[in-house]
């Protein structure tokens, strides 16, 4: 299973949860599969999907899912310590771990060698850290969303590889505004 297939599969589970999706191909694939206003697509700031989702989960009551990647988590690994100490129960971090920097040409990441993000997450204090196959991801995500008392970190081990895709034809403020409308916020000012 590759990322595109995994993201496709997750559409059975994700309903009105607020999703923050990693920059590049993950967001472009998610947009192509099933664009929804409750999907916040990152257009910049590689590494911060997990952090944006954490900040959001601290501000709202709805379930929040950060869809991050192994390369991006490696870039902002301190976020696992913050999540380990501060994540509320409505937060789920889903790390799509395909062992490669997919958006830049599938160069290998260190999770292909000796680094285990599961062990880093546990060592950082994260609760309910689950490493699983792509096929098992849906059931684990369902479990995480149903649990109202605990946050989760799910590391989905899949194959590298991408599908031909175009950039997202939405500008940043459009993504922002339709996402905030989905949360039910009145105009900010």
Residue 50 makes contact with another protein by CB under 8 A: yes
Distance CA 1, CA 176 (A): 31
* CA atoms within a 13 Å half-sphere pointing along the CA-CB vector of 179: 22
Q: Which stretch binds another protein (CB under 8 A): 102-110, 138-146, 158-166, 176-184?
A: 176-184
Check residue 104 for interaction with another protein (CB under 8 A): no
The reply on whether position 181 binds another protein by CB under 8 A is no
Is 67 a binding residue for another protein by CB under 8 A? The answer is no
Q: Count of residues binding another protein (CB under 8 A)?
A: 37
Alpha helices in the chain (DSSP H): 3-10, 25-34, 49-59, 70-75, 78-86, 117-123, 134-146, 172-183
Which pair of tokens denotes residue 106? Answer: 């599938």
Segment contacting another protein (CB under 8 A): 27-35, 101-109, 145-153, 174-182?
174-182
Is 180 near another protein (CB under 8 A)? Answer: yes
Per CB under 8 A, contacts with another protein among 9-28 are: 20
Least Cα distance to 138 among 3, 11, 1 occurs for 11
- φ, ψ for residue 153 (rounded to 5)? -125, 115
Buried b / exposed e over 80-93, threshold 16 CB at 10 Å, is bebbbeebeebbbb
45 near another protein (CB under 8 A): yes
Smaller CB distance to another protein: residue 106 or 182? 182
Compare residues 148 and 188 and give the one whose CB is closer to another protein.
Answer: 188
**CA distance linking residue 166 with residue 152, whole number of Å:** 32
Q: CB-wise, 22 or 109, nearer to another protein?
A: 22
Contact footprint for another protein (CB under 8 A): 20, 40, 42-60, 76, 78-79, 81-82, 86, 172-173, 175-176, 179-180, 183, 185, 188-189
């Amino acid at each position: 299973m590759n990322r595109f297939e995994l993201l496709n599969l997750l559409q059975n589970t994700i309903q009105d949860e607020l999703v923050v999706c990693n920059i590049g191909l993950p967001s472009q694939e998610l947009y192509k599969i099933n664009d929804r206003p409750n999907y916040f697509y990152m257009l910049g700031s590689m590494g911060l999907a997990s952090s944006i989702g954490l900040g959001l989960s601290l501000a709202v009551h709805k379930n929040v899912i950060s869809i991050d990647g192994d390369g991006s988590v490696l870039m902002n690994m301190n976020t696992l310590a913050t999540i380990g100490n501060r994540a509320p129960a409505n937060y789920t971090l889903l790390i799509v771990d395909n062992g490669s920097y997919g958006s830049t040409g599938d160069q290998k990441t260190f999770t292909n060698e000796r680094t285990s993000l599961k062990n880093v997450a546990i060592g950082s204090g994260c609760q309910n850290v689950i490493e699983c196959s792509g096929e098992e991801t849906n059931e684990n995500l369902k479990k995480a969303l149903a649990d109202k008392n605990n946050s989760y970190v799910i590391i989905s081990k899949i194959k590298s590889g991408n599908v031909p895709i175009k950039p997202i034809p939405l500008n940043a403020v459009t993504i922002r505004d339709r996402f905030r409308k989905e949360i039910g916020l009145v105009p900010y000012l």
